[in-house]
A and B are shown apart, each in its own frame.
Chain A
Amino acid sequence: MWSRLQLSKWFDERLGTRAIRVALFDRHIPKSSPLVEWIYTLGSVLLFFFILQALTGMMLAMNYVASPDHAFDAARYISLHAPFGWFIRGLHSWGATAMVVVIGAHMLTTFLSGSYKYPRESTWITGVFLFLIVMLFGFTGYLLPWNQKAYWATVVGTNIAGSTPYIGDYIVRFFRGGSEVGPQTLSRFYAMHVLMLPAALLVFVAVHLFLVVRQGISAPPKRHPEYGRHGINAQLGIDPGVGVGTQISVDAQRSRAVDEYHHEKEAGESFYPFYLAKDAVAVLLALAVIVILVFLYPTEIGEIADPASTSYNPRPDWYFLFLFQALKYFPGSMEAVAAVMVPGLALTVLLAVPFFDRRMRQHPLDRPIATGFAISALTGVIALTVIGAESPLLNPYVPERPTVEEGHRLFHTLNCAYCHSVNGRGSKIGPDLMLDPLKHDKTWITSHLERPGEVVRPGQRVAMTGLLPEESADLFDYIEELQGGGPYSEKASRLFYRNCGKCHIVAGHGGTKGPDLSGVGLVRSVSFIHRYIEDPVALYSKSQMPSFLEPKGKLTHIEIEDIARFLAHQRTAAPPKN
């Protein structure tokens, strides 16, 4: 048995592990205040999120195919059936959001503390590229679940890139792999997301980290107003400070800064364990935050992408929302300014700033213009994001129950319309599933679907394969929804006339202030009616109807569901006007 010392000696002689350890872990870090030291953990947290995204991404790829006919089902399988799949998917999706937030904070603090200056210009530039790569990761990954949100965000996102003057059309086709968002887009985005971008990220992270070790982590900025050109603070009337009017050359500033840094570094403590312990705690806290978010807001499965849908409200993911919102303020001819030129200019400024801002003033108060610029840009982006997020949806959309949605898809993929119609559309061989009342109960219907022509009506030829129990249950839920969302209680009509009868007519009774609801079941699903009674303005901004849900109204969720089912069964008159 070898002792630990012998083992480390063996490795050191072959790999030089001791030198590596000294360079990476024993390197000294300049001391600063506790607050600044916590801010300095952002880089490590970012590295942690990168590893987390890589690990969870590998797991997700194991149960995924990048093809429109299976991608949605695969993502749904991960969320519903794979053990801890929902958790891993949640970590990946919240991890993406966390990465954008943390990379933003990391860039902001680096900018405010002037750490991009000599000799760390290339660290900053690789960082800007890393930021770009992370944004591209977000953009390409968002499409992969192939749900409505994903599909329409990509349509909108690629169109924004398409407003680039002259080459816009080529950019759109480059991303989409064709003229429309479709199968080619999905596999293209998948290849970018899991092959190209990770390779690019790996290279830039390696260079970035090498530079961090090579140049050392910058010391917290000190006031050096004397480095200004004749003291810009003096011109602004702020603290004349030392050496107003003296000119110190940039080269002299740099050599002073280097000397200063070496002294501070000498006086500092080693990276391990004094700084890494803080990093580890920050990483643990960051993980705890996203785990809580995963539990509170699990990644939604959504509804399968439908290019023909006209009711969906397309929106990009939140970190592109500011761009989306900014476009609302520009007339069509000026769109390229907001969509491409401003972001392009911002990016150019970020890449070029270490070259035109060469003086060694690092403290944010010594650089009022840069600081003001950073803060106003940040405020602008946050404000646009908030306004964008809060702007009401023009096509309010009420999702159906997932099983109903699945049943609806099965109805189409199994070609049920060869025999059955829905609301008069389809063949008349079997009953109309919406208009003809159900003659049988759930057991009969599911048996009919699972063992056609065998259990229920022996001898009858049925042109279908027996369905799996889960499939027949989904189809039954869909049929039940078509029939008005299940049975309602005896109290439902009394509840309706007492609460709604003053304004609405059903079966010839009621007031005329609101629309006649005698045929509402033909045009609205029970989920929609339920949501409308809860919050009418959310679905129709000009609605005069008050909310009936407690505490605003006096109905409970159960009572509203009862009324909604009662109304969904009303299919006698012409549909209401709105």
Chain B
Amino acid sequence: MPDGNRAQFAVSEAGEVIENEPRRRFLTRLFWGAMGVVSVGIGAPIVSYLIAPLLRPSGPKDWVRMGKVDDLPLNVPQRIEVARRVAEGWVTEDSAVTAWVVRAPDKIYVFDPHCTHLGCAYRWVEEAKQFFCPCHAGVFSLTGKVVSGPPPRPLDIYAYEVREGALYVVPTPTKQVV
């Protein structure tokens, strides 16, 4: 860098430059050195602050209690909505967790309440014993399989666990492994 600058100044004011060459070189380095320290001193914290969301580890899985398993009727989907406190940034507030829960004899299905096509909220139609999506007429079976319509895959599920007779779920949609 100093060499380049010397070349430039030799062009603009030749006689003088040669005269105080060492002083000029020292001051040029001093300028860039000081500016470098200042830029790093301010830049480093600012960059860390900016990219913090990229570095933040995704938190531990947050189990939400959805109620007692015994209260769930067999093979009749229930839309369960519970409130939980969620802290995001500086806002901590109650937020709802919603899921369609089907208690089958051998296992429990906890479905994310959005159609796998475009994310519309589907509903259960008792007469047909099927889930219907109002947007593009997607139809799912009791176990979430696509019966007809555009949905590309079965209903997404939430991981669940039964502890002391209560159903706990992690409300993160995951693809169903068939």
* A residues whose Cβ falls under 8 Å from a Cβ of B: 4-5, 8, 21-22, 26, 48, 52, 55-56, 59, 62-63, 70, 73-74, 76-77, 82-85, 87-88, 91, 270, 272-274, 276-277, 280-281, 283-284, 287, 291, 451, 454, 465-468, 470-471
Query: Do residues B92 and A465 form an inter-chain contact, with CB atoms below 8 A?
Result: no
Query: Do residues A84 and B38 form an inter-chain contact, with CB atoms below 8 A?
Result: no
Query: Do residues A59 and B46 form an inter-chain contact, with CB atoms below 8 A?
Result: yes
Chain A nearest CB, measured from B123 CB (Å):
26
12 interchain pairs, CB-CB under 8 A: A5-B7, A73-B91, A76-B90, A82-B49, A83-B48, A276-B31, A277-B31, A280-B35, A283-B38, A287-B42, A468-B87, A471-B85
B residues within 8 A CB of A76? Answer: 90
B residues within 8 A CB of A87? Answer: 45
Q: Which residue of B lies closest to A72 (CB)?
A: B90
Chain A nearest CB, measured from B32 CB (Å):
8
**Which single member of B28, B38, B49, B83 contacts A273 (CB below 8 Å)?**
B28
Within B59-107, which residues are at the interface with A (CB < 8 Å)? Answer: 65, 83-85, 87, 89-92, 94
A residues within 8 A CB of B94? Answer: 465
Most buried by B among A22, A70, A273, A284: A273
- Known contacts A26-B13, A88-B49; is-contact A272 B31 (Cβ 8 Å): yes
Most buried by A among B4, B49, B92: B49
**How many angstroms between the C-alpha atoms of A91 and B44 in the bound complex?**
13
Chain A nearest CB, measured from B90 CB (Å):
4
Given A88-B45, A277-B30, A465-B83, 12 extra CB contacts under 8 A: A59-B46, A62-B50, A74-B90, A76-B90, A277-B31, A280-B30, A280-B38, A281-B30, A287-B41, A468-B85, A468-B87, A468-B92
Residue B37 lies at the interface, judged by CB distance under 8 Å to chain A: yes
**Which single member of A63, A451, A467 contacts B90 (CB below 8 Å)?**
A63
Query: Do residues A59 and B49 form an inter-chain contact, with CB atoms below 8 A?
Result: yes
- Nearest 10 A-B pairs (CB), nearest first? A77-B90, A280-B34, A84-B45, A277-B27, A73-B90, A273-B27, A277-B31, A273-B28, A284-B34, A277-B30
Count A-B pairs with CB separation below 8 Å.
Answer: 94
Tell me what chain B mostly uses at the interface: helix, strand, loop, or mixed.
helix
**How many angstroms between the C-alpha atoms of A77 and B88 in the bound complex?**
10
**How many angstroms between the C-alpha atoms of A62 and B50 in the bound complex?**
9
**How many angstroms between the C-alpha atoms of A10 and B28 in the bound complex?**
25
Tell me what chain A mostly uses at the interface: helix, strand, loop, or mixed.
helix
Query: Do residues B87 and A83 form an inter-chain contact, with CB atoms below 8 A?
Result: no
B residues within 8 A CB of A59? Answer: 46, 49-50
Query: Do residues B49 and A85 form an inter-chain contact, with CB atoms below 8 A?
Result: yes
The number of residues on chain B lying at the interface, defined by a beta carbon within 8 Å of a beta carbon of chain A, is 36
Residue B52 lies at the interface, judged by CB distance under 8 Å to chain A: yes
**How many angstroms between the C-alpha atoms of A77 and B89 in the bound complex?**
7
Chain A nearest CB, measured from B96 CB (Å):
10
Residue B153 lies at the interface, judged by CB distance under 8 Å to chain A: no
Query: Do residues A465 and B49 form an inter-chain contact, with CB atoms below 8 A?
Result: no
**How many angstroms between the C-alpha atoms of A56 and B46 in the bound complex?**
8
- Known contacts A281-B34, A287-B41; is-contact A273 B85 (Cβ 8 Å): no
**Which single member of B27, B41, B90 contacts A70 (CB below 8 Å)?**
B90
Query: Do residues B87 and A284 form an inter-chain contact, with CB atoms below 8 A?
Result: no
Chain B nearest CB, measured from A190 CB (Å):
16
A residues within 8 A CB of B34? Answer: 277, 280-281, 283-284
Q: Which residue of A lies closest to B25 (CB)?
A: A273
**How many angstroms between the C-alpha atoms of A277 and B35 in the bound complex?**
9
Query: Do residues B87 and A470 form an inter-chain contact, with CB atoms below 8 A?
Result: yes
A residues within 8 A CB of B8? Answer: 8, 21
**Which single member of A74, A82, A88, A471 contacts B92 (CB below 8 Å)?**
A471
